Structure 1
Amino acid sequence: MKRKIVIGSLLLLGVALAIFFTVPTIVDGRMNTVTRPAPYPASTQATAAHKALFVADLHDDALLWNRDLLQRYDRGHSDLPRLLDGNMALQVFATVTKSPKGLNYERNSADSDSITMLVMAQRWPVATWNSLLARALHQSDKLHQAAQDSQGRLVLVKNQQDMAAFVQAWGADPKRVAAVLATEGLHPLEGKLENVDRLYAAGFRITGLTHFFDNEVGGSAHGIDKGGLTPFGRQVVAQLEAKGMLIDLAHASKPLIDDVLAMAKRPVLVSHTGVAGTCPGPRNLTDTHLKRIAATGGVVGIGYWDGAVCDPSIPAVVKAIRYAVDQVGVAHVALGSDFNGATRTPFDVTGLPQLTEGLMQAGFSAEDIRAIMGGNVQRLLLQNLPAR
């Protein structure tokens, strides 16, 4: 009898573990969705125009999920095969390390985390279970390994020299994607300034300061206090600029944006956002902030999901792009999809020719479309990544 009980208990444990380890795949499929599945046909003219573009996107959270970047999936928004199909030339990959339970756009505390269970269920290294820094470094390792195994199709870019070499190689053979590594908030610093150096050594070159909660650096647009830079945050910003790391103000509170802009000596970007002029919301940029960010020489990546553009549709994305261009000029507007960020978007990355077509129909010139779809990001990185 005891033997049967033991066997039954082991079987139940096995079933429970099997369910636990399959949950991330289910969650991924349910949280990263599109309004309409592929394929995404575009006109012959738009398709041809799109194929000639250097397309760049400032924000993708694919590294969070239990997927191999080099394999094609039927869930989520992107992977290397689909990036190539969508003619993506450069993708910024962000690392998500913490997210509050009961996540909302208005007010979140920092005292809970829904990522821990995801990390455990995806069988990440034990060090990542309790360390946000370890989670960021693990995702960096994933990207480095994917690049190493890609046979030159995925190229990690860390400095101006890398970027210039990639642009030249892409011009000869566009079947390759540059990857730039970014943080989704700087809570992985764990309150230690020396961890800026650890992130830099791991390849991080774009640094979001906050995510959905206030942290040691400063206030989030979705936090409790929504304050500005802390004294530690001021040290961090100075250190980031000294190392040539680009500062990303996505998710930042308004006082935090003001504080960073008051001390920034280099261009500042916003990787994925909307504009309050077409879609009011806690994190969407006011006209004033659009203009002040542009004045640094920075760029603003327009997102595709409902929180950024109110309606996850191509016309809504184009409307936000048009508004931003009218406010600050075409040189400061870019794409910031937030693919794989628990978002619902009009298409996966293979649908980008439809966005090119939307811009054409809205009356943007060929030159303007080249700038918006990737030229502005190319320029920003060529000029502002570390030299070597």
Structure 2
Amino acid sequence: MKVVDFHCDVLYKLLLDDELTFQGSKPGILDVTYERLKAAGTILQTFAIFIPQSMNGRLEPILESVDRFHQLVLSCDDMVWVRTSKELDACIKDGKIGALLSLEGVDGLQGQMPMLRILHQLGVRAAGLTWNHANWAADGVMETRGGGLTTKGRQFVEECNKLGILLDVSHLSEKAFWEVAELSTKPVIASHSNAKVICDHPRNLTNEQIKRLIEKQGLIGITFVPYFVSKAEVVQVDDVLRHIEHMCELGGESHIMLGSDFDGIDRYVMGLSHPGELSALQEALLKRYSGRQTEQFMSGNALRFLSNFLPNG
């Protein structure tokens, strides 16, 4: 069964360590590697550009991350760049591994829409306005004042809609979430968030937010961050399924995808620490859901969405 994962932070690690490689990498450092994507049956992996606080606010680290993507990821034999629905179709037909670029936090663009357009030309196809804190565009979910979009942030949303860049609401404050949901003329995604009613963490989504994403024909990436999954000391694969089950109860069966957050975490769900272990999730899903439903969650919903909402190219 094929896999689509809509969020990993391996580019962040590759940015910080010039000696790391994506293929044949040092053991014990990267969660997501070329070999593990092949072993998992991955058909598409989204690579987030995340800039750490010490380097944030500048364009250069973003561009360096794009360069790492080209030099280390796309240089692997079966990795192909996905920017359009046509490229996605070709990737699936040829049995390759698609690589899609996203931007996690727009601080480095400094409110300049030309910089966004340049990143679109460089292949960025999804963007989250913030990480957890505030920037020129919006407040993140951990910003105590809980503000919404700035004027520049509203311009950013409108420009993303024009360009065909998917808007990602996973890290936004609740107020900013609702403003993006209202302003965007296109479906939006939460690339790596779970259900707050199952695990009460600020990064998880309320029932109302989940329903709104469903109404807008968006997607929600079930994430494997243990403390977004459960408050238990040891978090199991079955705990992940509780979030899927709840979202299905809200009408989200066709709106669930995977958003692992591999390489953005240093703790793991037991038996779910890298893409090569995704078979454990698939096996658990097949005990509760049909093959068709399991295929939807593992890849089908995300592939259908991208076929519809990536630029035609």
Q: Give the TM-score of the pair, scaled to structure 1.
A: 0.75
Cα distance in structure 2, aligned partners of 1:193 and 1:187 = 12
More helix by share: 1
- Out of 48, 63, 88, the residue aligned to residue 42 of structure 2 is 88
Aligned pair 1:387/2:307, yes or no?
Answer: no
8 Å contact from structure 2 (residues 57, 107) kept in 1: no
Report the residue type matching 1:86 in the other structure: A
Unaligned 5+ segments in structure 2 are: none
Q: Distance in 2 between matches of 1:305 and 1:80?
A: 21
Could you tell me which runs of 5 or more consecutive residues in structure 1 were left unpaired when the two chains were aligned.
Answer: 1-52, 99-112, 117-129, 171-175
AA aligned opposite 2:280: Q
Give the Cα–Cα distance (whole angstroms) in 2 for the partners of residues 385 and 343 of structure 1. Answer: 32
Determine if the alignment matches structure 1 residue 343 to structure 2 residue 266: yes
Distance 2:200 2:266 in 1: 18
Deviation of the 1:131 alpha carbon:
5.4
Any residues of structure 2 matched to 1:217-366 within 5 Å, and which?
217-310=137-230, 311=232, 312-346=235-269, 347-361=273-287, 363-366=288-291
SS at match of 1:293: helix
1:155-166 map, 5 Å: 155-166=80-91
| Secondary structure of 2:218's aligned partner | coil
Letter in 1 for 2:24: Q
Q: Secondary structure at the match of 1:317?
A: helix
Secondary structure in structure 2 of the residue aligned to 1:182? strand
Q: Which amino acid aligns with 1:327?
A: L
Structure 1 residues 191-242: Cα deviation after superposition (integer angstroms, max 9, x where no partner): 2121111211221001011102111110100123221111110000000000
Partner of residue 68 from structure 2, selected from 111, 117, 142: 142
Match of 2:21 in 1: 68
Q: CA deviation at 1:147?
A: 4.4
Give the structure with higher Rg (CA).
1
Cα distance in structure 1, aligned partners of 2:128 and 2:212: 18
* RMSD, aligned α-carbons: 1.4
Give the AA of the match of 1:262: E
Q: Distance in 2 between matches of 1:376 and 1:343?
A: 28
For 1:200, the equivalent position in structure 2 comes to 120
Q: Matched residue of 1:344: which SS?
A: coil
Superposed displacement of residue 146, structure 1? 2.8
- What is the CA–CA distance in structure 1 between the aligned matches of 2:300 and 2:202, rounded to whole Å? 29
CA contact (8 A) 2:57 2:109 kept: no
* Correspondence for 1:127: none
Matched, 1:177 2:97: yes
Higher RCO (CA-CA < 8 Å; seq separation 6+): 1
| Alignment deviations for residues 278-297 of structure 1 (CA, whole Å, 9 cap, x no partner) | 10111210011001011111
Question: Is the Cα contact below 8 Å between 2:196 and 2:207 reproduced in 1?
Answer: yes
Letter in 2 for 1:352: L
One-letter code aligned to 1:212: N
- Distance in 1 (alpha carbons) for counterparts of 2:170 and 2:59: 20
> Are the structure 2 counterparts of residues 254 and 85 from structure 1 closer, same or farther at C-alpha, using a change threshold of 3 Å?
same
Report deviation, 1:187. 1.1
Match of 1:71, SS state, is: coil
**Shift of residue 357, structure 1, vs aligned partner:** 0.9
Contact 1:227–1:255 under 8 Å retained in 2: yes
Q: Conserved in 1, the CA contact under 8 Å of 2:129 and 2:137?
A: yes
Give distance in 1, aligned partners of 2:191 and 2:248: 16
Q: Distance in 2 between matches of 1:325 and 1:196?
A: 35
Q: CA shift at 1:380, angstroms? A: 1.0
Aligned to 1:370: 295
Report SS of the residue matched to 1:339. Answer: coil
Structure-1 separation of matches of 2:239 and 2:189: 22
Counterparts of 1:253 and 1:63, CA distance in 2? 25
Aligned residue in 1 for 2:7: 59
Instruction: Give the 4+ runs in structure 1 shifted more than 3 A.
Output: none
- TM-score, normalised via structure 2 length: 0.92
